[in-house]
Structure 1
């Protein structure tokens, strides 16, 4: 039990470090030495009080050890960086592709281990992430076929790790740091890119090449089968092979954990090999020389290690494999094994080897699930049937992971127990074994045997996922509510004797339910009447703004679409869900350009939307997705909760659209509150600005301006800037924008007007509250500063 507590202390130390805005100096770790000495001295004394104090001090030591061990790892990773001066410049490098590339329709993405930098004076991190795009100038020229283990010479352009920074949205820069990727970029098209070696002898690359080969073989063999990606994910752990619409089925049914090669898969494979080896060893008569059980355990462990390497060695796989190793070693030494202490040792080992694993949601879900199973199956009085035991475990996992899932994803599948009862036996006992056997040359036909089982399972899951109450979505709960609910779940699941009733056995277990109520009853703060909360989301090179009054929400623009994804799915929806916004009273799509409308369809299919105003053609799919849709038209106005909204432009949307002037047709929205006003002009240019000056005049004056056209030189004329006279000017721009936004001349123009400037590429999401006669401005990068984020200003450096 103590090792579990001390392991948790080490983990919490690592998590504590990852919340820091700056890295601590490592020499502070010497402060742990006197605490260790005090704990050792007190542990020698025989007084009960001294033992308790000693254990508390050891807890503090492990907390500090996790903190400083992670700090040391962070300093080593951050030291390997790309300087600002080499961003966006051509650099020639040689290196090896360490793992499987990921392919899209017109591009591929892969990590690259840099071995040599051929460009003089350039310093490049050891691991970078590259995209290789099809050359549009060379029609018919396909992308090269790259596999893991190949050595290449490439000309690349790089930038420092950077991602969007928004509340409730995954920190992409943290994910890159977790993967030890210290720069990202793309391969420059040209003749200098060359494959130098098709095979690398390093053992790590050997397994990655095998994974790549199996994936390619499955893709070729199952080219016409829609669920081929599921079989690939189950065998080699390539979850990106699964299309997004199929992922949605797994998410809604709570079965997505089955698509990550987990402990159950590793245990299944090892168990099947154990049974086969045990049967064979006893039949050949060698049990007297070596007990059949020991031989079978070693065979199972060897196969489990091979499968783990084949699967990519993710956190759940590490956890299962390390537990298996400890159990096998203990059995060989004729030692008794208790599951919870083993889980504690494995928890400590995983974080010591990789402190960054605590960033991954899979880390918490994997260990929490096993701990819940241990809690449920241990300490029970009497015997129960297999069915009862299965139901109890499913109940425990569903209930126990509730708090974690809410804080991580803000949604939970209510039909998860039923869906898992269907999917787990079929996938674990039928589909996975057949798919693994199909990796053996000559047995590929087993994929066609497994596929009908998968097809039927997916059909059932899809039907379950389409039920009206399949999922529960809500706001992100506060951390204290999650901690209370976690304690409550453990209390509720304490041994209670025969039966499943919460009143049986251990007294007052019903109190665990009360501890979980704050998860649902503590709601996020809302604006008061007459107030406006405005969030300019960081969506890269694009725009999306969420405006909230007391009882209404408006979304102005939906950010860009990029490849097969869009900012609606990965930025806007997580933000809305985390804030507890389940409906949009109105959506405005300022114009049809993809950097403003790219995420609209993803949002409209997921969030109920009342009215759509848009400067896009009537037959556009976005217009067709909302029954109540109409053109943005000057003069349209409404009041919400004491806040006035008014459309100032365009006067003739159909005329502008027929002339293909999408930017000039942008919806211009003016919002006025008792505490200040904001103007959202979309991508209008100086011609439209001049028109607005004539017919809108003084109506343009605003406390806050979302700078038109991302700070392009073709917008923000001197007369327009003077007339608006914003106290705050906000530039919605992408990091190192290829369009050069915002233009330095435009920045100077707003500075000359004494406007305070905010930039989404530097500041992340900009959060404004029009309250109590003033405007409160915060930025997400300032509120959520972490040591791996770049610092952009003198004020940041001072912080």
Structure 2
């Protein structure tokens, strides 16, 4: 078995571990046993094995080695966890600011390395993530709020409240818990306001913190020099890896043009900079016969290129993509140092091995697949081809290969792919990598910071082109998440299409029947996601934390009830609802209902309206509300006279009354829209945030319409709602509490939850169960929770 195949099997084993619900037990013993089997049996004099049997045995060994290597890392990381009993309690710590602080108008965030726990009996993981919110300062004027001056590498004594890493659990959503585990962030929290929060040392003498201080000094200097410049954040990101410096609008341009890899310290930039240094040092060294006689120019150039690559990797904050790029360059450097010709596949597989050894969770990262996938596609169309073509045609072929080759992965991970990416990258890659990045890196030297202005000028010109491409009518293809087997078929089809032709860009000549690759690509586009049948209702209660967002689908229509909360600079509409709608293939909302103005129900609506065409708005919002202003027509107040039927499913608005809007002092919660959806298979009641007053009003107006199979608990299960009379009249078989993990309101109230339990209702909670999917069909309700379906050992 070749070493390349062995490495791929090892990586597959490590990836398989990341799909497990629980870690294997006694893995140390199993590892030793499997190693003994793998190393001893093939050469035992008493056992005669065929070549095929030996290969199978070696395959099992390498798969097991990868699997248990990842298990060892996982067990080591998980042992350093915050005990449940110390969540949401004040803990006093001494430690070091371990990362570049990220600030906005509300707070600043940073990683913190814990050195000492001052609170008796508390255990805190070594690496935590903290937010420090603005507080009123006693020495400032009344009402003025400030943020502390925190810099990387400082030692602080602070009081914090922590919780274990927790992620919203939704289909097509981001898994923060896996992301935090990969980065060894074992608790998150915030700094409590306290007179005992003190800076102890301004500088801690440790190389890791020196790098962070340098990154912060570069960021501060760039910010000062480029004050007021539109793309200052992009140059800061290219120099330090601080991606939060880029605005959301600029990220959208990069995403729509497929150039977002250019604004991170990516493998491309590290490789280009390292190659430039290699070429420069090689030429300079060759000018001196004296130096050539002592050390070959190639070896010195290799060392120089690798050192620069390592420095750039550290400058990026040692990000995961930068680590992967450095591993690849290190493999190439070793081969060049030894004077051996190394094949491209050898470089790729050895880099893969080192990445997995250092970071077994890399296989969970989209960047892992995209970076290795892009390199594999480039190798496929450039390495080992007979003959030569014009450099321009070669460049076009590479761009074509990357765009086509990554399409299945992009559709599977993000449900979209940029159609203008080949043009955008053909312009942006040489512009950014050969001009903007070198000038920006030279500007990190204080005496050369004047180079920032020409770098910004060049970047501004490129951004104008990218913005024009981004605004093109069909710049991005968006669709549903294709089934896994269609992605695998698509990758196979891409490889088939890119096999050698008789000429540089020949398609119907050369390797026979390459057009069959298109057939393998078609299932990703032509197999639509399943839909409800007529009379059925598919309903998903999304996990948006302390808030509400419910997607209801019939055969031909889709309704969104509430949009979840805002999260400061972003919101649940952008992070949770839109990815879910896109992944499910929902291209249009026929109706959006915003039950009331509270931000935990309306905070994501504007992002959704920006991303998904929406035909009708029903809400209890005032007419001057920004969400109302998005609809010049087809907006309606929700009241008891509104009802409609879609595909045999009845939608009824039960509250408020139309005359309630005449009261200028009406209570926001008590005016929440209440919606009932009825099918012949069952029904669901969505009462938003109504309290006992509105519950009684519903009982007085019409008790017979309240009974429902499923109930979304009013006001997240607060003690001011869910009166006994109300829940007895509704009499739900299933009750769902939409609550945030360890929320400050302590919803649901224990007495309220017990009230439902005594009624015989089954209880589900979004903070425990994640998104809840309900299918009303076949005279029953099929219930599935996302955490049960997508169970992983780190949850």
Shorter-chain TM range is over 0.9
Query: Where do 1:704-783 residues align within 5 Å?
Result: 704-783=710-789
235, 260, 284: which one aligns with 1:280? 284
Moved more, 294-303 or 523-532: 294-303
Q: Tell me the equivalent position of 1:797.
A: none
Alignment partner of 1:182 is 2:186:
yes
Give how far 1:40 is off: 3.5
Q: Tell me the equivalent position of 2:468.
A: 463
Distance 1:171 1:609 in 2: 28
Equivalent position SS for 1:268: helix
Equivalent position SS for 2:781: strand
Q: Tell me the equivalent position of 2:120.
A: 120
- For residues 224-248 of structure 1, the C-alpha deviation after alignment (integer angstroms, 9 at most, x for no partner) is 1121111111111111111111101
Give how far 1:151 is off: 1.1
Q: TM-score, normalization: structure 1? A: 0.96
Question: Aligned in 2, Cα 1:624/1:328: closer, same or farther, shift over 3 Å?
Answer: same
Contact 1:589 1:613 in 2 (8 A): yes
Distance 1:332 1:574 in 2: 47
Q: Tell me the equivalent position of 1:664.
A: 670
- For residues 583-629 of structure 1, the C-alpha deviation after alignment (integer angstroms, 9 at most, x for no partner) is 10110000011000000000001001111101101121111213321
Query: Where do 1:285-434 residues align within 5 Å?
Result: 285=289, 286-434=291-439
Q: Tell me the equivalent position of 2:635.
A: 629
Contact 2:158 2:198 in 1 (8 A): yes
Alignment partner of 1:552 is 2:557:
yes
- For residues 537-565 of structure 1, the C-alpha deviation after alignment (integer angstroms, 9 at most, x for no partner) is 00000000000111111000000012111
Question: Aligned in 2, Cα 1:145/1:348: closer, same or farther, shift over 3 Å?
Answer: same
Equivalent position SS for 2:615: strand
Give how far 1:652 is off: 2.7
Alignment partner of 1:51 is 2:55:
no
Equivalent position SS for 1:200: coil
Give the unaligned 5+ runs of structure 2: none
Give how far 1:205 is off: 1.5
Distance 2:712 2:131 in 1: 32
Give how far 1:296 is off: 2.4
Distance 2:725 2:660 in 1: 27
35, 57, 62: which one aligns with 1:33? 35
Distance 2:550 2:387 in 1: 59
Distance 2:95 2:509 in 1: 63
Distance 1:295 1:352 in 2: 28
Q: Tell me the equivalent position of 1:445.
A: 450
Question: Aligned in 2, Cα 1:75/1:709: closer, same or farther, shift over 3 Å?
Answer: same
Contact 1:381 1:497 in 2 (8 A): no
Query: Where do 1:587-606 residues align within 5 Å?
Result: 587-606=592-611
Moved more, 725-734 or 207-216: 207-216
Moved more, 325-334 or 373-382: 325-334
Distance 2:385 2:788 in 1: 50
Alignment partner of 1:454 is 2:459:
yes
Question: Aligned in 2, Cα 1:182/1:653: closer, same or farther, shift over 3 Å?
Answer: farther
- For residues 625-655 of structure 1, the C-alpha deviation after alignment (integer angstroms, 9 at most, x for no partner) is 1332111121211110110001111113663
Give how far 1:468 is off: 1.1
484, 505, 511: which one aligns with 2:510? 505
Contact 1:617 1:657 in 2 (8 A): no
- For residues 243-262 of structure 1, the C-alpha deviation after alignment (integer angstroms, 9 at most, x for no partner) is 11110111111001111212
Distance 1:612 1:182 in 2: 42
Aligned residues: 787
Contact 1:616 1:657 in 2 (8 A): no
Moved over 4 A (4+): 42-45
Contact 1:685 1:714 in 2 (8 A): yes
Q: TM-score, normalization: structure 2? A: 0.96
RMSD: 1.8
Query: Where do 1:237-252 residues align within 5 Å?
Result: 237-252=241-256
Give how far 1:42 is off: 9.4
Give the unaligned 5+ runs of structure 1: 790-799
Give how far 1:144 is off: 1.4
Contact 2:137 2:145 in 1 (8 A): no
Give how far 1:30 is off: 4.2
Give how far 1:140 is off: 2.8
